[in-house]
């Protein structure tokens, strides 16, 4: 006799630490899945009740007590549908990353994550002890094996679930985005279904949390390796799917929604928009301020921020100096007008001259150099931060990863602000994203994209005066920073030795600057901040 099971995937955006708010969101979603979709079970992401990653909030006993109260509330408030939900659980052995099945006022099963990631942006061994056993629970007559995130990247948890009688695997995730992640996930799921012969329900978190962006893109993969469902990336929603169970107990998903995977530039741009939006919204800033220079970085940053929170909440400020070209003022004004943001021009010549006058005696007998250039950047910082203080809008910085890598940025100048939209975006990718955004609607003046990049802090200045061409610089940086190649390996790949040694030296010398930079959206496999953690003071030969 055949039967069927309807599971709802809750791809939702939860706020770290807001246990009460997250619980209310779970209750609303469960009622909707039960009443609107007639689902028999709803599956939520990893650590739903605390949000992910809660970091050292997990060390506060009050958070765990709040989670325990939330579980009681869920059991009291939700009936008629099974909840599969992630949370931290206090056990005699220590804190566990747990998933439970709640049914009509009772907890009928609990699973503890077995593989705890402790690499890249993950620190789970700092907080959790690993589980040791599979957990198979019956939901509407189907035996379901529970797993959590990293477990699905290894064979044992899914295989152990199958051996314990599972007919279906459910995997709760908080898997952050980077530009190659979607294909990696699908490849891993295909390995698991091939090994086990069982379909997998993969539920992922969506939303921005500080540097991290969770893209959702939840999916259901049938036992033959074909996708039965793919939820849209970067979008909240509840996605139901029905499974048929034949007389032999074989579970097969029906065809469901198959959202487009999205081209790489589209996914990166959406990740940047979501990361900026959630940082502003979750930290309750009323709006954002951007120093709009007429250059490519600030132009793209303005477009991302407007797409994130709307033009009515964004202010652009042009702060020309004696070295700012007329075309920069024109292009900034044109973009601000096109995007409909509040815009004003605040020249920095008066404060710049005042600083030079104050410093005239201490700097007497010296020649102008980067000191005077950086004073201009710091004048701009004072203006932006004054507006931020007065109107409580967050300053979105405009520096890119290439600049941050080699220190081509001014400490307490253009680096100062609350959040960096492009912090993990290499310069060559900045240009690609600008062109992509203009394909959606032309908001960035074409001249901004075509003209040579310049900080405009000295006469006729161009980035290429101080740095290798970005087409050369970015591949070297990717090899050194993201792939951990040493200088000799990069040189062996065909890059000029002098250029490589110079670039590597710049990266190493500027760790102290990066340590003082604001957080920013992570879109690569190795971002500065949570990801790449090098000492500032070190005697190690980092060209090795």
**pLDDT tens, residue by residue, 404-445:** 999 999 999 999 999 999 999 999 999 999 999 999 999 999
pLDDT-based confidence at 466, cuts 50/70/90?
A: confident
Q: Which of 6, 96, 149, 381 is catalytic?
A: 149
Model confidence at 462, in pLDDT bands (50, 70, 90)?
confident
Higher pLDDT, 98 or 260: 98
The predicted-structure confidence for 269-292, as pLDDT tens digits, reads as follows: 999 999 999 999 999 999 999 999
Distance CA(515)–CA(236), nearest Å, equals 33
Upper half-sphere CA count for residue 176 (Cβ side, 13 Å): 26
Residue 100: pLDDT band by 50, 70, 90 thresholds?
very high
In this prediction, residue 465 carries a pLDDT of 77
Whether the pLDDT of residue 32 is over 60: the answer is yes
Tokens of 168: 């279906």
- Looking at 6, 25, 46, 401, which residue is catalytic? 46
CA 15 from centre of chain: 14
Please determine, for residue 339, whether its predicted confidence score (pLDDT) is greater than 80: yes
The residue among 534, 541, 533, 471 whose CA lies nearest residue 122 is 533
In the predicted structure, residue 394 carries a pLDDT above the cut 60 = yes
Q: In this structure, what DSSP letter does residue 478 have?
A: I
Residue 113 designated active-site? yes
What pLDDT score was predicted for residue 530? 83
Cβ neighbours for 464, distance < 8 A, ≥ 6 positions apart: 452, 453
Give the residues across from 240 on adjacent strands: 8
User: Is the model's pLDDT at 247 over the cut of 90?
Assistant: no
User: Which pLDDT belongs to residue 542?
Assistant: 63
Say if CB 268 and CB 428 are below 8 A apart. no
What digits encode the pLDDT tens for the residues 34-62? 999 999 999 999 999 999 999 999 999 99
Q: Is the pLDDT of residue 476 over 50?
A: yes
Q: What integer is the mean pLDDT of 341-360?
A: 96
Question: CB 322: neighbour CB atoms within 10 A?
Answer: 12
pLDDT bin (cut points 50, 70, 90) of residue 2 is low
The residue from 25, 113, 181, 513 that is catalytic is 113
CA distances to 55, 206, 270, 388 from 437, rounded to whole Å, are 34, 22, 10, 27
Catalytic: 432? Answer: no
pLDDT at 43: 98
1 pLDDT above the threshold of 50: no
Largest Cα separation within the chain, whole Å, is 94
pLDDT at 219: 96
Peptide bond into 147 cis (omega under 30): no
Whether the per-residue pLDDT at 460 is higher than 80: the answer is no
Structural domains of the chain ordered from first start: 3-260 (3.60.110.10), 266-463 (3.40.50.620)
> Is the distance from CB of 143 to CB of 168 less than 8 angstroms?
yes
**For residue 531, pLDDT beyond 50:** yes
Average pLDDT, the chain: 94
Q: What is the mean pLDDT of residues 179-189?
A: 89
CA-to-CA distance for 334 and 328, rounded, in angstroms? Answer: 10
pLDDT bracket for residue 453 (50, 70, 90):
confident
Tell me the pLDDT tens digit for each residue of 292-329: 999 999 999 999 999 999 999 999 999 999 988 889 89
Q: Residue 321's pLDDT is what?
A: 92
Q: What is the mean pLDDT of residues 194-222?
A: 97
pLDDT band of 463, cuts 50, 70, 90: confident
Question: In the annotation, is 163 catalytic?
Answer: no
Burial 27-43 (b: 16+ CB within 10 A, else e): bebbbbbbeebebbbbb
Q: Return d(Cα 388, Cα 381) in angstroms, integer.
A: 10
Kindly write down the DSSP assignment for every residue of 31-97, as one continuous string. HHHHHHH--SEEE--TTTTT-S--GGGGG-HHHHHHHHHHHHHHHHH--SSEEEEEEEEEETTEEEE
pTM value? Answer: 0.95
The pLDDT of residue 537: 85
DSSP 216: B
């Amino acid at each position: 006799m055949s039967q069927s099971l309807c599971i709802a995937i809750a791809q939702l955006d939860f706020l770290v630490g807001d246990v009460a708010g997250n619980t209310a969101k779970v209750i609303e979603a469960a009622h909707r899945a039960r009443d609107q979709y007639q689902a028999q079970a709803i599956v939520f992401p990893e650590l739903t009740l605390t949000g992910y990653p809660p970091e050292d909030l997990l060390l506060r006993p009050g958070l765990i007590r709040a989670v325990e109260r939330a579980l009681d509330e869920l059991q009291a408030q939700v009936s008629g549908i099974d909840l599969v939900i992630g949370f931290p659980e206090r056990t005699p052995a220590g804190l566990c990353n747990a998933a439970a099945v709640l049914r009509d006022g009772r907890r009928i099963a609990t699973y503890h994550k077995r593989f705890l990631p402790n690499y890249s942006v993950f620190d789970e061994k700092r907080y959790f002890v690993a589980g040791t056993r599979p957990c198979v629970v019956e939901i509407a007559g189907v035996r379901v094996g529970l797993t959590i995130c990293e477990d699905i990247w290894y064979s044992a948890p899914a295989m152990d679930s199958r051996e314990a009688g599972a007919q279906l695997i459910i995997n709760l995730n908080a898997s952050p985005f980077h530009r190659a992640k979607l294909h990696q996930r699908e490849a891993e799921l295909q390995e698991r279904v091939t090994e086990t012969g069982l379909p997998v329900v993969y539920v992922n978190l969506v939303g921005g949390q500080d540097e991290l962006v969770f893209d959702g893109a939840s999916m259901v993969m049938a036992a033959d390796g074909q996708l039965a469902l793919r939820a849209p990336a970067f979008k909240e929603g509840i996605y139901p799917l029905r499974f048929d169970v034949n007389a032999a107990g074989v579970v097969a998903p029906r065809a469901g929604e198959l959202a487009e995977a999205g081209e790489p530039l589209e996914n990166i741009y959406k990740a940047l928009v979501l990361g900026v939006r959630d940082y502003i919204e979750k930290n309750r800033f009323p709006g954002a301020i951007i120093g709009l220079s007429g250059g490519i970085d600030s132009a793209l940053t303005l477009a991302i921020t407007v797409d994130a929170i709307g033009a009515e909440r964004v202010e652009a400020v042009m702060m020309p100096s004696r070295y700012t070209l007329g075309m920069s003022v024109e292009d900034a004004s044109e973009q601000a007008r096109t995007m409909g943001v509040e815009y004003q021009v605040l020249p920095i010549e008066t404060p710049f001259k005042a600083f030079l006058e104050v410093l005239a005696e201490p700097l007497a007998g010296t020649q102008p150099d980067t000191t005077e250039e950086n004073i201009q950047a710091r004048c701009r910082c004072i203006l932006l931060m004054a507006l931020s203080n007065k109107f409580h809008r967050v300053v979105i910085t405009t520096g890119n990863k290439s600049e941050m890598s080699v220190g081509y940025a001014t400490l307490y100048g253009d680096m100062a602000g609350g959040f960096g939209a492009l912090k993990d975006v290499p310069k060559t990718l900045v240009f690609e994203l600008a062109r992509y955004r203009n394909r959606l609607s032309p908001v960035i003046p074409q001249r901004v994209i075509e003209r040579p990049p310049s900080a405009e802090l000295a006469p006729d200045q161009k980035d290429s005066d101080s740095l290798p061409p970005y087409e050369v610089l970015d591949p070297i940086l990717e090899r050194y920073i993201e792939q951990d190649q040493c200088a000799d390996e990069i040189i062996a790949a065909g890059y000029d030795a002098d250029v490589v040694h110079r670039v590597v030296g710049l990266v190493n010398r500027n760790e102290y600057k990066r340590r003082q930079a604001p957080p920013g959206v992570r879109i690569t496999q190795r971002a500065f901040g949570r990801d790449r953690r090098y000492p500032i003071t070190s005697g190690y030969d980092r060209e090795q």
